[in-house]
Amino acid sequence: MPQLERLLTELQQSGYNYIVMGDFNQNLLEGPSSIKDCFQEFRFRQCVTESTTEGNTILDHVYMSSETVQIYCCILKERKWVGETIYLCWVGVGNDGGLSTFEEIYITC
């Protein structure tokens, strides 16, 4: 975890807000997560609240450093592609609760 802590320290010291996302291979639906705890120590919020896999897990994390910008993550649909499941997701970013932009992201599970 030292590498993650160094990265988060650098991000925090930059003064900018960040979104960090990825397949962290820790299921957030199965109790404590050392990765989530580490992000929370640096004031990042986890934004994914629903399962990202067919196996009812949250392995795909999206963390946001801003306390004023809101992020909305949801699984819109899934597609099978070469034996893998591709989830089509939208991440909405807005100020004061209003959505201003949507970004389409693909998560491969």
Q: For the residues 22-41, what does the mean pLDDT come to?
A: 92
**pTM score > 0.75 for this model?**
no
Q: Over 60: is that where the pLDDT of 81 sits?
A: no
Q: Which sequence spans correspond to the domains of the chain? A: 2-108
Q: For the residues 23-43, what does the mean pLDDT come to?
A: 93
Q: Over 70: is that where the pLDDT of 14 sits?
A: yes
Beta carbons within 8 Å of 90's beta carbon, 6+ residues apart: 72, 73, 74, 76, 102, 103, 104, 105
pLDDT digits (tens, 9 = 90+) for 37-49: 999 999 999 988 8
